[in-house]
Amino acid sequence: MKLNSMEMLYADKLKDLYSAEQQIIEALPKMAEAAAAKELKQGFQKHLKQSQAQAKRIEKIFKGLGEKPDGKTCEAMKGLIKEGQEIIKMKGDPVVKDAALIGAAQAIEHYEIAGYGTARSIAAQLGFGDVADILQETLDEEWEMNEQLNRLALGDASTAGINEEAMMAEA
């Protein structure tokens, strides 16, 4: 594929994100099943529903472009998910595995945050304000999920986080 215009870059980025969402939709049930902490399982299940809605948003954007969102594989997401699958297969303390799953999930979230931020910015520059708003909604959801993962890992003033529990499991 040649990138000869911002419109082509925009479509390419959206196809990449669509592929990423499809891969995430397939991976999240496995991550939820592997999680020991109830809150982490619930977080993965919530993100599955969000990812399904996010993929539908991208389909809607492509429908407006008169194109289909498929035809590209997000290689970066493929690698990130492979790392998560390796964690799922590992033996060990369930709390430590949960800490590792959170790290893998945050790597995925950070990729999505970068991708949706880029796509939103390009959409706005191209004058696609309505689409930029849709992409911003998704970007907000990704930031929210990342913050939820942070809270699970680090805890708060009243609750120990999974990382602290994992440290205690080592002792």
**pLDDT for the residue numbered 1:** 66
Closest CA relative to residue 130, chosen from 49, 75, 61:
61
What residue numbers bound the domain in which 18 lies? Answer: 6-170
**pLDDT for the residue numbered 2:** 79
The pLDDT-based confidence of 70 (bands split at 50, 70, 90) is: confident
In a domain, 144, yes or no: yes
- Rounded mean pLDDT of 90-105? 94
**pLDDT for the residue numbered 85:** 96
In a domain, 1, yes or no: no
pLDDT at 171 over 70: no
The better pLDDT of the pair 138, 159 is held by 138
Classify the C-alpha dihedral 60-65-70-73 as positive or negative.
Answer: negative
**pLDDT for the residue numbered 59:** 96
User: For residue 118, how many C-alpha atoms fall within 13 Å in the half-sphere facing its CB?
Assistant: 17
pLDDT at 167 over 90: no
The pLDDT-based confidence of 107 (bands split at 50, 70, 90) is: very high
In a domain, 13, yes or no: yes
In a domain, 117, yes or no: yes
**pLDDT for the residue numbered 157:** 66
CATH code of the domain in which 131 resides: 1.20.1260.10
In a domain, 21, yes or no: yes
Whole-angstrom distance, CA of residue 132 vs CA of residue 126: 10
Say if pTM beats, i.e. exceeds, 0.95: no
In a domain, 114, yes or no: yes
Tally of domains in the chain: 1
User: For residue 81, how many C-alpha atoms fall within 13 Å in the half-sphere facing its CB?
Assistant: 19
